Chain A
Amino acid sequence: MSADYGYINARVRGLKSKLLEPKFYSEALDASDYSALLSSLAQSPYVKELEEAQARYSGLKVLDVALGRNFYHTTRSILNFSDGEAHELIALMLLRYDLYNIKAIARAKHAGRDLEEIQDAFFPAGELKLPILETVASAPDMAGAAQALLASPSALKGAFARAAQHYTSDNDLYKLELALDQAYYKIINAKLKEINAPDSFVRYIKREIDATNLRTALKLQGSESSDDLFIPGGKEIGRAVFDAVAAETSLGSLQILSSTSFSAVAEAQNLGEAENVIRELLNSSAKRLAADPLGIGVVANYLRMKEAEAARLRLLARGKYYKVPRETLARELGDA
């Protein structure tokens, strides 16, 4: 299954040129308030989504909705102009948004929440579009939601149906989510084999799995580990390392990571900092992957950059909205 990477990557480079320049952030840091930040953002490629959001919402929701819609339009556009193997790989990268949205629906069904409460939790950047998500979320219970999802093209529909069936007997959301997480990574690994994905991309996905396992192990520190929490398919963070990291009680004592490329994580002071370090390492991997002008890495790297841009803008917007001191904001922004 071939793909016209020359054309796809040229289009993605075009999108990349629209990413906000570092100059924008330094100017935004000096913006007098949130409205001033929105005004300067209205001069950027976010103008259309901002105008739409301003017509319906107010406050921070304007920016949050605009960023969500912009990301959605961007991913749709990439999926539309990509074909063959590239299209499959991009859809695979965006599958995590489907997982994320299905989990949001499952949580809402578990807690007996209605559709209105779920809508703010949707991030429809994957294959599942908003109307489908709303239909699934309108189901009266977990089994109904799983049934409704079966009518969609989602690769996760079968996994959700099986997990929901177990849920009806044990009412255990934790187990349901773990089943979905495991199914998601199984689908990713199976798909990579099925389409005979390039080795460089497989390595990148393995690194993402390593990062996920490391993040999970760090969150588990001081509590009991479980077999279902480890995702097979990584390269450096095997089961033994995962258990050893989870068994530690502090970040500083992670000697076991010194033999891996994640050794910098041991220097982090807290979980938030550890996540920043892991994110930076993944960004570097994506950048290396993007060195091939005729590979999927250009898209993978662009999607990471786009996510980072959204995080920076959310940080700036909240900083200006709550009048956080410039120095504090600049320090936090430095981590983005």
Chain B
Amino acid sequence: MAEQIAPTRSNLLQRRDQMRLAIRGADLLKRKRDALIGEFFDLVKVSLEARKALAETSKEAYLSLFLAKAWDGPEAVESLSLAAKSGLDLKIKVDNLFGVKVPQVQAPEFDKSLPFSPINAGARTLDAASEFRKLTEALINVAATETRLRRIGEEIKKTSRRVNALEQLVIPGINQQIKDIRSVLDQRALEEVTVLKRIKAKLEAREEAAKEVA
């Protein structure tokens, strides 16, 4: 149901101010959306590169694990993996991109010193461990890029919805209200003119009658 507005001149002025604000807002949001889309497409390129790197690193890592388990034995690989502490501490910084908070995940610095004795530790297993460190870095890189991409994508959708709401709903609504108020005010002005004309006519008629009597 449309909002009932008193058709007053002050409301008309208020609606005109709202109209100017809505048009300026829509313009600003469109500019924000365009900037985000530019950023989005730049990130898409980076993200595709990161995915490609992940696929290649993953292939290398799993092949090295495959060879380590075959040559050094699955038990030896399992045994060496027991020494590694599970879990990874990531540094996450929040960037402000056109008002959008996007996380920036930094790949951790891996401690490359061995927690176990290298004597009798299989070279293939050590190679697999090194390949899996690279895989973890590639995985974090993909996660970081895609999280930024998703955040920016969500913000583009949100901004587009706002622009659409302003352009398709708010601005036409205010426009209609302005039209309605103006129409009522015009009608009132016309009525006033008519009333005044009638009064004037009556006064003139009264004056004519007075002259005739005199």
Contact = CB atoms under 8 A, between A and B. Distances in A.
Interface residues of A, number: 46
B119 A178 contact: yes
Contacts of A271: 123-124, 126-127
Contact of B78 (A111, A121, A174, A314): A121
A174 B73 contact: no
A275 to B, nearest CB: 5
A233 interface: no
Interface string A68-82: 100000000000000
B126 to A, nearest CB: 6
B22 interface: no
Contacts, number: 114
A229 B70 contact: no
Contact of A272 (B76, B79, B80, B127): B127
A148 interface: no
Contacts of B75: 64, 68, 100, 104, 120-123
A119 to B, nearest CB: 9
B67 A272 contact: yes
A110 B83 contact: yes
Interface residues on B, range: 20 to 34
Chain B: interface secondary structure?
Answer: helix
B133 to A, nearest CB: 16
Given A68-B75, A110-B83, A123-B75, A173 B115 contact: yes
Contact of B83 (A99, A173, A231): A173
21 contacts: A100-B76, A100-B79, A103-B117, A104-B75, A104-B79, A107-B115, A110-B115, A113-B82, A118-B82, A121-B79, A123-B76, A173-B83, A173-B115, A174-B114, A174-B116, A212-B119, A218-B123, A271-B126, A272-B123, A315-B70, A332-B67
Interface of B: 62, 66-67, 69-71, 73-76, 78-80, 82-86, 114-124, 126-127
